[in-house]
Amino acid sequence: MQPTERDAAYVWDILDSAQHIQEFMKGVRFEEFLQDRKLQLAIERCVEIMGEASRRISDELKNAHPEIPWSGMIAQRNVLAHEYDDVKQERMWLIATVHTPALIPDLEAILPPPPPTE
C-alpha cells in the first residue's frame, strides 16, 4: 500500500529523525553518550518526533506495514513526554544504536519515490 500524501509526510518526518539519530551517534561510545547531556536530549527529541508522527499515521498504513514498530515508537514518545523523570539512557542507547538503524530501510521501502527534478 502506498501512503497517502499526509501519511507520506509523517513517514518522511520519522525517517528524517531516524537519520539525524544515526548522524548524531556516529562514532559515539556508550560511556560518551552517558556523559553528553546535549546528545541525550537530541536523541530524545528525535524519538519524540518519531513517536508523534507515528501516532498521526492512518490505521490503514499501520496495518499494511506491521514490520514497522508504530506502537513501540508511540509508546516511547509517551514515556519521554509524560514520564520524563524515568527515562533510561540505556534504553535510549539501544533505540539509537540498534532499533533506529534497523528501522531506516523499512521506512525507505514504503515511501513513494521523490518527484523528478527538472
Answer whether 50's CB lies under 8 Å from 14's CB: yes
Q: Catalytic residues, which ones?
A: 77, 82
Half-sphere exposure of residue 4: CA atoms within 13 angstroms, side-chain side: 9
pLDDT value, residue 115: 64
pLDDT value, residue 1: 60
Domain residue ranges in the chain = 5-108
Answer whether 1's CB lies under 8 Å from 60's CB: yes
pLDDT value, residue 87: 81
CA torsion, points 60, 65, 66, 68, in degrees to nearest 10?
-120
pLDDT value, residue 114: 66
User: Along the 118 residues of the chain, how does pLDDT read in single tens digits?
Assistant: 667 889 999 999 999 999 999 999 999 999 999 999 999 999 999 999 999 999 999 999 999 999 999 999 999 999 998 877 778 899 999 999 999 999 999 999 998 776 666 6
Q: Which amino acid is at 77?
A: R
pLDDT value, residue 112: 75
